Amino acid sequence: MKKIVISFVSQKGGVGKSTLARAFATAASQTGHAVKLADLDTQQATVVDWHRQRLNNGYASIGSVEVFRKASDAIKHADSYDFLILDGAARASSATLEVAEVSDLVVLPTCASRDDLMPAVKLAHELQRHGIANDALVLALTRVSTESEIEDARAFISDSGHTVLQGCLYEKPSYRQAQNEGLSVIETRYQTLNKKADALISSIISHLS
């Protein structure tokens, strides 16, 4: 299969980059794909810690998980795996553009608040201005609570000229609990929550194909 690079980036921390990167990596791994999950945040390295927790608790590996200080070092692995999944640092920089330029799809997670939506859209604008194709940029709604805020957030993103993924990630303690144990948000003990998270991951896949 064609080697695919997908990146999760944002200007802010806590919007769900690692959560979605883990879920996507899990889904890809469970369907038999070779996965490299690159954590580009050396200061936190939360994905590496999460995967260690996963293995220690006896759950299946999702593939190769590694922390990289420089985005360029992670990009070198693009040809060795079916999916290279880049989990960006909690700020935008030249490295964000670097990973966006080699990505088949750039996912910008955002919570449903103006404080999160504004920087997410501004970063999407900036990536577009730097030559990243608009159809390679998608925003993903995370940590949402009510249908009305989802509706307003979708309208906000659509009005900005960018694409928002179908499905969204709800703010649920069970998602946090699953990740505490080294599982992803598509592997909670509640099938309904798994399906909702899976819908978001499926939406990402549909934009890759």
Cβ proximity to other proteins, 99 vs 200, nearer residue: 99
Specify burial of residue 102 (Cβ count, 10 A radius: 0-12, 13-18, 19+).
Answer: middle
152 binds other proteins (CB under 8 A): yes
Q: Binder to other proteins among 159, 173, 191, 209 (CB under 8 A)?
A: 159
- Phi (first) and psi of residue 26, to 5 degrees: -65, -45
Q: CA 174 to CA 187: how far, in whole Å?
A: 10
Residue with tokens 């200061």: 43
126 binds other proteins (CB under 8 A): yes
Q: With the CA atoms of 48, 71, 78 and 21 taken in that order, what torsion angle do they form, in degrees rounded to the nearest 10?
A: 40
- # of chain residues touching other proteins (CB under 8 A): 35
Using an 8 Å Cβ cutoff, are 82 and 4 in contact? Answer: yes
Phi-psi group of 92: left, alpha or beta (phi > 0 → left; psi -120 to 50 → alpha; rest → beta): beta
**Range in contact with other proteins (rule: CB under 8 A) among 21-29, 156-164, 170-178, 196-204:** 156-164
What single-letter DSSP state applies at residue 77?
Answer: T
Using an 8 Å Cβ cutoff, are 49 and 154 in contact? Answer: no
8 binds other proteins (CB under 8 A): no
At 195, is the secondary structure helix, strand, or coil?
Answer: helix
156 binds other proteins (CB under 8 A): yes
195 binds other proteins (CB under 8 A): no
7 binds other proteins (CB under 8 A): no
Q: How far is the CB of 143 from other proteins (least distance, A)?
A: 15
Q: Binder to other proteins among 52, 122, 189, 195 (CB under 8 A)?
A: 122
Taking residues 54 to 93 in sequence order and writing x for each that binds other proteins by CB under 8 A, - otherwise, the string is ---------------xxx-------------------xxx
189 binds other proteins (CB under 8 A): no
What are the residues binding other proteins (CB under 8 A)? 11, 69-71, 91-98, 113-114, 117-119, 121-123, 125-130, 149, 152-153, 155-157, 159-161
